[in-house]
Structure 1
Amino acid sequence: MIQDRRATVVLDIGKTNAKLTLISPDGVTLAEQRRPNIILHDAPYPHHDTEGIWSWMLDTLRAYAAQAPIGAIVPVTHGATAALIDDDGLVLPVLDYEFELPADHVERYGRLRPAYVNSHSPRLPAGLNLGSQLVWQAMAFPAEFAKARHILMYPQYWAWRLCGVAASEVTSLGCHTDLWQPARQRYSALVERMGWYKLFPALQPAWQPLGTLKGALAAQTGLPADCQVLCGIHDSNASLLRHLGGTEAPAVLSTGTWVIAAAPGKPLDSLREEADMLANCSAFGEPVACMRFMGGREFGAIAGDASVACSEADLAKIVLQGTFAVPAFAAAGPFARHAGGLVGPEPADAAERYALATLYEALMCDYCLSALGVDGAVVVEGAFTGNPHFARLLAALRAPGGSVGGVGRGAVMATDDTSGTTCGGWLLHRRDGNPQLQGHVAQPLQLAGLEGYRQRWLELTAG
């Protein structure tokens, strides 16, 4: 039974948007505010607008304090991001992981990074391997880097700003950083080589209260003086959290700017570095086989800015006429080394481009799930649940039969939560809570020629 009847605030910073959600003790959303996650392009390199987020967050917390008594704030953020701080704040701006690091650094870092067999962290472009960012900052800005007292993963940076207590946490440390060994649950050889052990604060569970809100912030926002600040968690692991702990967890598709296919319980020995397959760490420290691509970014590249929702007839036409989107349309994922493009007749209008993008996403997700060896139930969370055709297309591509956790083996469930990260953040505060998985089992979309279309798409991707 939940004893504390105060609300929870989840700070969810995704790559595209930041969101603050006020949630009741029973898991009901009371309020939600968003703002763009802006990248600033002034010196010394492209970086996150942390001060903009901070000001917006304090203003929003002030408004939320007038709506409900608040017992805890839970930070949830995207991965591949860290903050270098001293006792007063940032010693360098928080680098944007899409920044293309210099070529000479990339070559040098290739010799420093740990072996994939130990880190299960594939070599990724730009700054998507956090270790690469940190090595570059250490060498390009030695004086500033030397001032750092702590390296904080991004959720823990926001927790530190709110309560003043520094911590480390495994879900962000284990997110293709090259800094962690998921299978051994310890830091990697890179941390030893760079002499960084002392910069990482003590590990804490994601649900651990680090402290109470700083007194000045409580006075400024009107939040209670005893409002707790939790350690926080990586966003796709927040989505995964409520599906763990059963006898056989389903695979989870966390969808948004990034699409993460997570396969709890699957072995790590089938992961392939060149396919952008990796081991994340669950909130409990256990390795989770994953595969991902920039699905939201690629959907936009195919559908265009003025996307118009398609009909089943539009999907059928794209399949029948043999129009294919062949990956990749972003510099990440299993086909990142290939330039994306269209094969076959051009889509006639915005609705057909939306249909083509939807087919592409379903095919890519099916490809990732198959590569991970997933033959059971799949739960779809996040932005793609707002697409009425996606889950039904994916269900048509997956093999039926059996049962996993009440969901048919091979079945696809689309949740009613467009942000599984928010529920996961709430669960960190309400570990005795029992959120019901609200959603529906998707009925396979019957499209003539879909299986042949998939086979041809696989042939094109192999070429």
Structure 2
Amino acid sequence: MHGGRYAGVLDIGKTDAKVAIVDLQAECEVDVLTSPNVVLPGPSYPHFDTAALWDFICNALRQLNASHPIDALCVTAHGASGVLLDACGDFAAPVMDYEFSGPDELASEYDDMRPDFAETGSPRLGMGLNIGAQLFWQFRSDPGLADRAAAFLTYPQYWVFRLTGVQANEVSSLGCHTDLWKPRQQRYSSLVGELGLSGKMAPVRRANDCLGTVTTEVAQRTGLSPRTAVFCGIHDSNASLLPHLLRREPPFSVISTGTWVIAFAIGGRRVELDPGRDTLMNVNALGDPVPSARFMGGREYEEVMASRAPGCEPGEAETVLAGNIMLFPAVETRSGPFQGRQACWSVDDSQLSDGERFAAVSYYLALVTAEMLTEIGAQGPTIVEGPFAQNDCFRVMLRAASGRQVEVQEAAATGTAIGAALLVRSESAGRGRTKRHSQKTPVLDPALDAYAQTWRQTVRRR
């Protein structure tokens, strides 16, 4: 285990970027700074404002290190993003916002090239959600890019490169519906060669490999010790999964919530994944394939609530249950088990109080999540990580709809920083330890089960 008490975690989410300090002894966040993850409109195409992110990261590290001296750094970031670097280590092209629809223009040509789902476990997704589709569009749109590009890095590992100068790739990000990885064979797919990237992929390293220490420039800018170790890093949803993977006996499932809601089934029933329902084969930090499913639950919540205050009174939740006030999928039509469908309400939603709207959308999100768990063969308890873990309506409906125990972690508002910080330890860290106390969610009202059944029956008829 790496010595020291405090790990700094760079957590680059789709909506916000965070730098957190994790106490490795108590396994909890002790401080965090946050900044919006800004998308610039162009030129060329919508892309992440990586310069602003780097400024935020360096300034946050300086501020946080002053109060909690950082002993090691880890990075976790959203999927569906990668970086092309030139021979000097600069951007060969901006980092595309994966919600850019440009790659759809070449969808039929890309489909002729991409490997089958059986090879990669990667479903065909719209926009730039398959990194392969991004790269295909970039190379076609910018004929000189293939020559300029000297290296490809997965997104968390790009930030490690900025910290250390060391280039690497890592399997949890390569296995995140990129079309570039074969999870069962643990090697690159045929698409790498088709895209002309053979020999340009950075070396694959383990998530918990120490890639070195911060550069002199980073140490001077942030106030970090030049001896600060930096670890390879991990895809954000897999960071949420890691603590449970190390400490729990299967079967169980983990729900990572945020902009995306992602379900992982560990040791569940063997099922045939259906790419048409947004199921896929992810790859965990240890390199093993994990049946998974996802939808943009956080985005849907924001759209439905439209900045209204969260929460509801017990009477408002009871009104929603008793009146079968229901939201049907899909609010975000481009992802999830009900992609392609158009959302609708069972009532005139303009007449709902804010609390009733909150309860109804929370139930909706739980019911879609339960559908995902069925699709991936989940068994055993379900652990909820992230913002939805604090939502009582979501938890009780998920318990009713799935028929299995629901637990939430109490140590932090999000599990990504804690999981990423565990990379500082050896792979076997925590195995055999008593699992952290978690809150179990009871079913408080038998009306929840009736509501879930009615919702499912209605969805099947639509």
Is TM (by shorter chain) over 0.5? Answer: yes
Q: Report if the CA contact (8 A) 2:400-2:452 is conserved.
A: no
2:14 maps to 1:11: no
Please name the residue that 1:418 is paired with: 413
**CA separation in 2, counterparts of 1:249 and 1:159?**
33
What is the CA-CA distance between 1:38 and the residue it aligns to?
0.8
Please name the residue that 1:51 is paired with: 51
**CA separation in 2, counterparts of 1:142 and 1:435?**
55
What's the CA shift string for 1:392-419, capped at 9, x where partnerless? 22112232xxxxxxxxxx2110112321
Q: Report if the CA contact (8 A) 2:337-2:371 is conserved.
A: no
What's the CA shift string for 1:216-252, capped at 9, x where partnerless? 1112211111111111000000000011144314200
Please name the residue that 1:340 is paired with: 343
What is the CA-CA distance between 1:460 and the residue it aligns to?
2.8
The aligned amino acid for 1:454 is A
Mapping of residues 25-424 of structure 1, within 5 Å: 25-26=24-25, 27-86=27-86, 87-245=88-246, 246-266=248-268, 269-330=271-332, 331-346=334-349, 347-399=351-403, 410-416=404-410, 417-424=412-419
Post-superposition, which runs of at least 4 consecutive aligned residues in structure 1 deviate over 3 A?
Answer: 266-269, 431-436
**CA separation in 2, counterparts of 1:383 and 1:168?**
29
3-state SS in 1 of match to 2:158: helix
**CA separation in 1, counterparts of 2:83 and 2:437?**
36
Distance 1:67 1:105, change over 3 A: same
What is the CA-CA distance between 1:198 and the residue it aligns to?
1.0
3-state SS in 2 of match to 1:248: coil
What is the CA-CA distance between 1:338 and the residue it aligns to?
0.8
Q: Report if the CA contact (8 A) 1:92-1:145 is conserved.
A: no
**CA separation in 1, counterparts of 2:104 and 2:21?**
44
**CA separation in 1, counterparts of 2:258 and 2:140?**
33
Distance 1:102 1:204, change over 3 A: closer
The aligned amino acid for 1:8 is A
What is the CA-CA distance between 1:205 and the residue it aligns to?
0.4
Please name the residue that 1:429 is paired with: 424
Distance 1:268 1:133, change over 3 A: farther
Mapping of residues 424-463 of structure 1, within 5 Å: 424-431=419-426, 432=429, 436-448=435-447, 450-462=448-460, 463=462
3-state SS in 2 of match to 1:105: helix
**CA separation in 2, counterparts of 1:268 and 1:134?**
33
What is the CA-CA distance between 1:213 and the residue it aligns to?
0.4
The aligned amino acid for 2:401 is L
**CA separation in 1, counterparts of 2:150 and 2:269?**
37
What is the CA-CA distance between 1:275 and the residue it aligns to?
0.5
What is the CA-CA distance between 1:138 and the residue it aligns to?
1.1
Distance 1:64 1:70, change over 3 A: same
**CA separation in 1, counterparts of 2:69 and 2:302?**
39
Q: Report if the CA contact (8 A) 2:383-2:407 is conserved.
A: yes
What is the CA-CA distance between 1:308 and the residue it aligns to?
3.4
Higher mean C-alpha deviation, range 293-302 or range 388-397:
388-397
**CA separation in 2, counterparts of 1:237 and 1:357?**
26
Q: Report if the CA contact (8 A) 1:321-1:345 is conserved.
A: no
Higher relative contact order (CA 8 A, sep 6+): 2
Q: Report if the CA contact (8 A) 1:395-1:445 is conserved.
A: no
Q: Report if the CA contact (8 A) 2:327-2:345 is conserved.
A: yes
What's the CA shift string for 1:183-237, capped at 9, x where partnerless? 2211112112223121111110001111110011112211111111111000000
**CA separation in 1, counterparts of 2:44 and 2:282?**
31
What is the CA-CA distance between 1:387 and the residue it aligns to?
1.3
What's the CA shift string for 1:35-64, capped at 9, x where partnerless? 111111121110001010100111111112
Distance 1:88 1:192, change over 3 A: closer
**CA separation in 2, counterparts of 1:183 and 1:3?**
31
3-state SS in 2 of match to 1:329: coil
Q: Which runs of 5+ in 1 are unaligned?
A: 400-409
Counting aligned pairs with the same residue, the percent is 37
Q: Report if the CA contact (8 A) 2:2-2:425 is conserved.
A: no
The aligned amino acid for 1:386 is Q
3-state SS in 2 of match to 1:206: coil
**CA separation in 1, counterparts of 2:102 and 2:271?**
30
3-state SS in 2 of match to 1:242: helix
3-state SS in 2 of match to 1:84: strand
3-state SS in 2 of match to 1:132: helix
Q: Report if the CA contact (8 A) 2:80-2:131 is conserved.
A: yes
The aligned amino acid for 1:459 is Q
Higher mean C-alpha deviation, range 419-428 or range 180-189:
180-189
Q: Report if the CA contact (8 A) 1:254-1:261 is conserved.
A: yes
Q: Report if the CA contact (8 A) 1:266-1:288 is conserved.
A: no
**CA separation in 1, counterparts of 2:418 and 2:132?**
29
**CA separation in 1, counterparts of 2:32 and 2:434?**
19
What's the CA shift string for 1:354-388, capped at 9, x where partnerless? 11111101111111112222231110111101212
TM-score of the superposed pair, with normalisation by structure 2: 0.94
The aligned amino acid for 2:343 is G
Distance 1:25 1:366, change over 3 A: closer
**CA separation in 1, counterparts of 2:316 and 2:141?**
51
Q: How many residues align?
A: 451
Distance 1:374 1:28, change over 3 A: closer
3-state SS in 1 of match to 2:67: coil
Q: Report if the CA contact (8 A) 2:29-2:417 is conserved.
A: no
**CA separation in 1, counterparts of 2:253 and 2:28?**
25
Q: Report if the CA contact (8 A) 2:29-2:418 is conserved.
A: no
Q: Report if the CA contact (8 A) 1:84-1:145 is conserved.
A: no
Q: Report if the CA contact (8 A) 1:254-1:380 is conserved.
A: yes
Cα RMSD (Å) of the superposition?
1.7
The aligned amino acid for 2:185 is R
